[in-house]
A and B are shown apart, each in its own frame.
Chain A
Amino acid sequence: MSEFVTGVEEMAGAAGAVGTTAFPTRPSRSYWRESADRLWGNRVAVLCAVYIVLLAIAALAAPLISRYVTHSDATSQDLTRLFQAPGGGHLLGTDELGRDTLTRLVYGAQVSLTVGFLTAALSLVVGGTVGMVAGYLGGWLDTLLMRLVDVILSIPAIFLFILLSTLLRPNAVTLSFIIAFVGWGNVGRLVRAEALSLRSREFIVATRSIGAGTVRLIARHLVPNALPVMIVAASLAVGQIILVESALSFLGLGIQPPTPSWGNMLSYAQQYYYHSAWLVVFPGVMIFLVVLAASLLGNAVRDAFDPRLR
């Protein structure tokens, strides 16, 4: 026995010597470290992340901006100064009730970012759980859950959103729940596929063989291994969620006035094309930029965390 142990140690020593002298090995780095480095090395991704962070700071600082920079509330009306062109007293002009456009844009950012990230998180939790359970346990439960996903995904989402938001009068949080109610389906499918492929791997079989319970196995072994897939799915979803929110608010079925959101600002602005085009341009550009940043960042996250998918 002791002979055997020393033998192994010798072999290990020899291998180590080879590794350090003849073939200098790459310093060992964790998967997470490596992915983060890859992401950091992507200049476009960093730029997009910086833009989103700046926007988030502006959104959080909205009360300060309205007090010290624009000197007007998002809802305070000035009926003597309607449709002011950008520049002058109001940096980005005023709307049909004399409200300051810049202030409203900054408050609109609060809505878009809240809905974007909250919905992504909600769909991740629900879709992740359902996908894990369906993929790992399999059987009739898998069939049931996946057919449920099929049904939800076969209904064009916006029709479902419209149905739900006529039933509930949405604010940013309820709107997130409404969008996540449909959005978890895609995440669920992806996570299920991942759980299905992990299920038969040796380390999972080994964990089960030493008596780990289902809950422990899913929480401690499946989830960490499926995490990259979940992160990629969520980061790709944020941009599309913001688009959906703005479309619903534009239709008057999302965020309700007087709370400003980029979508509902556009909905009122479209009546004043002829003389105040900037009211149509600014909120749209804001939506476009944040969705563009979120999708580019999502693509970069996918490339960084899962080079196979490139």
Chain B
Amino acid sequence: MSGIFLHGDFGRSLRDGTPVIQHILVRLPASLELTVTAILIGVALSIPLGVVSALRRGSRSDNLLTGVSVAGFAVPQFWMGLMAILLFSVTFKSWGLPWLPSGGQQSTIGGGDPLDLLAHLFLPATVLSFVYLSIWSRFVRSSTLEVLSQDYMRTARAKGMTERRAVYVHALRNSIVPLVTLVGLELPGVLAGGLVVETVFSWPGVGLLTYESAKSYDFTMVMGTTTFVALAVVLGNLIADILYAVLDPRIRYR
């Protein structure tokens, strides 16, 4: 049994008898597209936001960011998705403004060009990244604050480096390396959030597949996707650990 499983045989769907792994592989690219984009948005925005609010600790922009990230942690993702559709698709359309599509990966008719794909990706990826943006920017903020008080920062200032240069050359790298581990650990959350967001935006990924299968009591399919995603999480954590060692020479695994 374990032999079969390790060879990628997740059983057959209860609905149509086709192998579960086939369904998963068909849906995987869409899920990866959404998840990777969301993680990239989250990382790309949380680093500057976190660093800036650490450098301007206690300022108005720091407090604003704190408020937004607390809110981002409390807002239900699916509701945020609904609100985004309500605003950017429904209301914008009724006002005659350029509007964004409310669901799917591409337009059914005449879709598939890069602009069309991007327009479809924009809302779900932004909504999915929002909660991680708030967690990660907090994390970057506190790790930057920690790094700023290190001895080597004092040395850098003492030898006459400008504050800006000291931050970019010495602080930044050390403060964002731990983020790699956090992103790895957060993978289950991103994938789970992906399920909800995929459902709201009818994004044809593994999450939506799981949801549809659960609705039709296709147990083998749900078990298959669950196991598959768990494997992805373990793999993600492994990659994060290796990256951590690559980025930070002080860390060595024996």
Q: Enumerate chain A interface residues (CB-CB to B < 8 A).
A: 153-160, 162-163, 165-167, 239, 243, 246-247, 250-253, 266, 270, 273-274, 277, 280-281, 283-284, 287-288, 291-292, 295-296
Question: In the complex the two chains form, is B225's CB within 8 Å of A159's CB?
Answer: yes
Which residue of B82, B195, B237 is within 8 Å of A158 (Cβ)?
B195
Question: In the complex the two chains form, is B226's CB within 8 Å of A160's CB?
Answer: yes
A292 CA to B78 CA in the complex, in Å? 16
* Contacting residues, chain B, for A165 (C-beta < 8 A): 214
Which residue of A154, A155, A273, A291 is within 8 Å of B76 (Cβ)?
A291
A282 CA to B229 CA in the complex, in Å? 33
Pick the interface stretch among B67-75, B113-121, B175-183.
Answer: B67-75
B11 CB to closest chain A CB, in angstroms? Answer: 14
Chain B 58-95: CB-based contact to A (< 8 A → 1; otherwise 0): 00000000000011011111110011011000100000
Chain B 213-237: CB-based contact to A (< 8 A → 1; otherwise 0): 0110101001101100110011001
Which residue of B70, B192, B214 is within 8 Å of A295 (Cβ)?
B70
Question: In the complex the two chains form, is B230's CB within 8 Å of A247's CB?
Answer: no
A247 CA to B195 CA in the complex, in Å? 10
Question: In the complex the two chains form, is B222's CB within 8 Å of A292's CB?
Answer: no
B179 CB to closest chain A CB, in angstroms? Answer: 20
Shortest Cβ distance from A274 into B: residue: B90
A162 CA to B83 CA in the complex, in Å? 24
Question: In the complex the two chains form, is A246's CB within 8 Å of B214's CB?
Answer: no
Is B210's beta carbon under 8 Å from chain A? Answer: yes
Interface-central residue, B77, B214, B223, B237, by most chain A CB under 10 Å:
B214
Listed A/B pairs (12) with beta-carbon separation below 8 Å: A154-B234, A156-B189, A157-B188, A159-B192, A162-B210, A166-B217, A246-B76, A246-B78, A251-B196, A251-B199, A251-B211, A266-B78
A290 CA to B223 CA in the complex, in Å? 33
Question: In the complex the two chains form, is A287's CB within 8 Å of B76's CB?
Answer: yes
Shortest Cβ distance from A295 into B: residue: B74
Question: In the complex the two chains form, is A166's CB within 8 Å of B222's CB?
Answer: yes
Which residue of B70, B90, B210, B219 is within 8 Å of A159 (Cβ)?
B210
B107 CB to closest chain A CB, in angstroms? Answer: 20
Q: Enumerate chain B interface residues (CB-CB to A < 8 A).
A: 70-71, 73-79, 82-83, 85-86, 90, 188-189, 191-192, 195-196, 199-200, 210-211, 214-215, 217, 219, 222-223, 225-226, 229-230, 233-234, 237
* Contacting residues, chain A, for B73 (C-beta < 8 A): 295
Known: A156-B188, A156-B229, A288-B74. A162 touches B211 (CB 8 A): yes
Question: In the complex the two chains form, is A166's CB within 8 Å of B214's CB?
Answer: yes
Closest 8 CB pairs of A and B: A284-B79, A292-B74, A158-B192, A156-B188, A156-B192, A291-B74, A159-B226, A155-B230
B88 CB to closest chain A CB, in angstroms? Answer: 12
Question: In the complex the two chains form, is B90's CB within 8 Å of A162's CB?
Answer: no
Inter-chain contact total with CB atoms closer than 8 Å: 110
* Contacting residues, chain A, for B230 (C-beta < 8 A): 154-156, 159
Question: In the complex the two chains form, is B78's CB within 8 Å of A250's CB?
Answer: yes
* Contacting residues, chain A, for B217 (C-beta < 8 A): 166
A228 CA to B27 CA in the complex, in Å? 45
A68 CA to B240 CA in the complex, in Å? 58
Interface-central residue, B70, B73, B79, B189, by most chain A CB under 10 Å:
B79
A281 CA to B83 CA in the complex, in Å? 8
Known: A163-B222, A243-B76, A288-B79. A155 touches B195 (CB 8 A): no
Shortest Cβ distance from A157 into B: residue: B192
* Contacting residues, chain B, for A274 (C-beta < 8 A): 90
* Contacting residues, chain B, for A292 (C-beta < 8 A): 70-71, 74
Known: A162-B222, A166-B217. A280 touches B82 (CB 8 A): yes
* Contacting residues, chain A, for B78 (C-beta < 8 A): 246-247, 250-251, 266
Known: A163-B226, A266-B79, A292-B70. A156 touches B196 (CB 8 A): no
* Contacting residues, chain A, for B199 (C-beta < 8 A): 251
Question: In the complex the two chains form, is B191's CB within 8 Å of A156's CB?
Answer: yes
Question: In the complex the two chains form, is B210's CB within 8 Å of A287's CB?
Answer: no
A69 CA to B121 CA in the complex, in Å? 45
Question: In the complex the two chains form, is B229's CB within 8 Å of A296's CB?
Answer: no
A159 CA to B222 CA in the complex, in Å? 8
Interface-central residue, B75, B83, B200, by most chain A CB under 10 Å:
B75
* Contacting residues, chain A, for B226 (C-beta < 8 A): 155-156, 159-160, 162-163
Which residue of B82, B188, B222 is within 8 Å of A284 (Cβ)?
B82
User: Beyond A166-B214, A246-B78: 14 further Cβ-contacts under 8 Å?
Assistant: A154-B230, A156-B191, A157-B192, A159-B210, A166-B222, A247-B196, A250-B76, A251-B196, A251-B211, A270-B200, A273-B82, A284-B76, A291-B74, A295-B70
Question: In the complex the two chains form, is B214's CB within 8 Å of A253's CB?
Answer: yes
B200 CB to closest chain A CB, in angstroms? Answer: 8
Question: In the complex the two chains form, is A155's CB within 8 Å of B71's CB?
Answer: no
Question: In the complex the two chains form, is B90's CB within 8 Å of A154's CB?
Answer: no
Which residue of A153, A239, A247 is within 8 Å of B74 (Cβ)?
A239
A280 CA to B70 CA in the complex, in Å? 22
A270 CA to B77 CA in the complex, in Å? 14
B12 CB to closest chain A CB, in angstroms? Answer: 17
Known: A155-B226, A287-B76, A295-B74. A166 touches B219 (CB 8 A): yes
